[in-house]
Every structure is written in structure tokens, then in C-alpha cells.
Amino acid sequence: MRVGVLDIGSNTGHLLVVDAHGGAAPLPAYSFKQPLRLAEHLGETGDVSQTGIDALTAFTAEALRVAEDKGCEDILGFATSAVRDAGNSDGVLEHVQERTGVMIDVLSGEDEARLTFLAVRRWFGWSAGRLAVFDIGGGSLEIAGGADEAPDAAWSVPLGAARLARTYFPEGRADEETVRDLRRLIRAEIARDAGHLLRSGRPDRAAATSKTFRSLGRICGAASSADGPLVPRVLPLAELREWIPKLVAMDPKELASLPGVSQSRAHQIVPGALVAEGCMDIFDLTELEICPWALREGVILERLDQLSVLH
């Protein structure tokens, strides 16, 4: 079956059209995305602004047209941190459904971590053993771990790269004291619930997903996306530590010139790097393997599992 997966993230709206059936890897057929930056369209009250609502509605309507043109039988729509945390979340999604007919579900932070873990487990397989998974989104950081397809522990922390950039880097750069304060806050947030993962013992394999981790991997020497998803990619802690002072010293234009960094996300690289470093430090990991599958694939895989049970 051909399915459209509509992912409303804190940074980007992304429709991924995939050919999927049980027992096979979801095969991407078409991708349509736009920078929505919903995390930056939250007003002082925590509500999504009218500008953000209009942008989301317009994108959803266009994504629906694309999905229909590409022959999708079904659309799986979900929203993550920016919509989840908004005070007017229900109203925003009702507005989108009234205007477009598309129903978008809000994933809890735990579900986001759980579904991402499922995708990474299926990618690496059972030979990965006990697996730890980290995903830095625009609004939140998801952490999960376990030895099975369902993680033993899965939780979300409000440490998304866009959220931190908006708060600590409003001008695109921050002074040393602000960076030090942010570093301390990140580590305290991660460490607060680290026992959920550490209690089960050291993971046999640690993996990372998301655009932020992929960009950091490229900066630290990982292969380009043009080389294909099967090329192994890692983010080593030693190289990341060497890069962080250089990244802090760069202006947004210099950051945007780095490999794997887009202009629209350049301001998120430094906070993202601090979160990635914090994850590896707190969980005593020397490197993270970059997994090409993430939340979208997890949503598809769970739907296929559900359909196979029904049939």
C-alpha cells in the first residue's frame, strides 16, 4: 500500500510518501516539506500564533493534494512537541481539520520516544542487543532504551534545538556565560531521569536520529546523505568536543556554510551540539551511531503491525 506520513514537527512540516507492506522496509517514494518553524510561532502565552496556524493549515492542504496526486491510500498525520506543548493545541488541530479534512494526532513525548525506538530497533535488528536511542527534535529531546522492540524506558525532555535557540540565542550567538548556563541546564535536565536507562545496565549499542544529529555527524566527518542510507555514520564525542568551541565562535552565516547545515537551521546547531554532548557525557558514551530511520518510519511500522494483526 502507498501511505502518506504527515509529520508536523517543531521545525518542519514533512509529507513522506512511502510504499509499505508487512515484512518489508518502507520504501520512500516522494518527499514534500516546508519550514514551518512552529516552535518559533509560540506567543508569550504559549499559544501557536495565527501566523503559525495559517502556515500549518496551508501546508496541510498542499500536502493533501500531493498525497492524492501520488496515489496515497491513507494519510497518517501526527504532530510533536510544538503543537503538543501549545496552549491552544486542540483549537489549532480542529481548525486544520475543518479547513482540510486531515486529522492530525498529537503524539505524547513518551510515544514519540517509543516509536522512534521501534524504527531504530528494526533498522539495526536484534544483533544490536540492548539499545539506547536519542533524538533531538525542534522542541524536545527523546530518550529510550531496552532489549526488545518496545523500550523498557522512554521519555521526553524539553531540550529541542529550536526551543533552546529561541531562548538562549535570540540574536544567533550567545556569550560564554550564557553558553555555560545552558550547558549546566541541559545536563541537569538529562541527568534527572537518566536512571531510567542506566538502571538496566550499559547499552550494547547507542544510536541517534534526527536532522540535528545528522548535521553534527557531517560536521565531524560523517559521510554525506548523497552516499546513501546504508553507509555507516557515527558522531564521536571526542570530535564533537573539539568542534563545540569553534561552533560557539561562529556567526550564523559561518555555521550555515558547514557541511550538512542548512541556513534555516544554522542557529540551532550550537544548542543541538550541547545537547548531544550532554547525552554522551551523562550516559558515558564515546560515540553515537546515526540511524537513518526515525519517528516517521516508526509510525509506519506500527501501522503495518496493526494491519497484520487485523488480517
The predicted structure's pLDDT at residue 244: 97
pLDDT digits (tens, 9 = 90+) for 140-194: 999 999 999 999 999 999 999 999 999 999 888 889 999 999 999 999 999 999 9
Residue bearing the bigger pLDDT, 261 or 306: 261
Q: Do domains 2-106 and 110-295 have the same CATH topology?
A: yes
Q: Any idea where the domains of the chain sit in the sequence? A: 2-106, 110-295
**What's the pLDDT at 273?**
98
Residue 44 binned pLDDT confidence (cut-offs 50, 70, 90): confident
Instruction: Please tell me whether residue 133 adopts helix, strand or coil conformation.
Output: strand
d(CA 29, CA 50) in angstroms, rounded, equals: 33
pLDDT of 35 over the 60 cut: yes
State how far the alpha carbon of 39 is from the alpha carbons of 170, 184, 239, 301, in Å: 13, 22, 29, 27
Q: What is the mean pLDDT of residues 110-137?
A: 97
- CATH T-level topology, domain 110-295: Nucleotidyltransferase; domain 5 (3.30.420)
Check residue 242 and give its pLDDT. 98
Helical ranges in the chain per DSSP H: 50-69, 81-85, 89-100, 109-124, 161-168, 176-192, 195-198, 211-219, 237-249, 252-256, 269-282, 295-310
What pTM, to 2 d.p., does this model score?
0.94
Per the CB < 8 A criterion, the answer to whether 10 and 162 are in contact is yes
Decide: 189 and 159 in contact? Cβ < 8 Å: yes
**In the numeric block, which cell numbers belong to residue 62?**
498542499
Cβ 164 vs Cβ 184: under 8 Å: no
Which homologous superfamily does the CATH classification assign to the domain defined by 2-106?
ATPase, nucleotide binding domain (3.30.420.40)
Give the pLDDT confidence of 55-73 residue by residue, as tens digits.
999 999 999 999 999 999 9
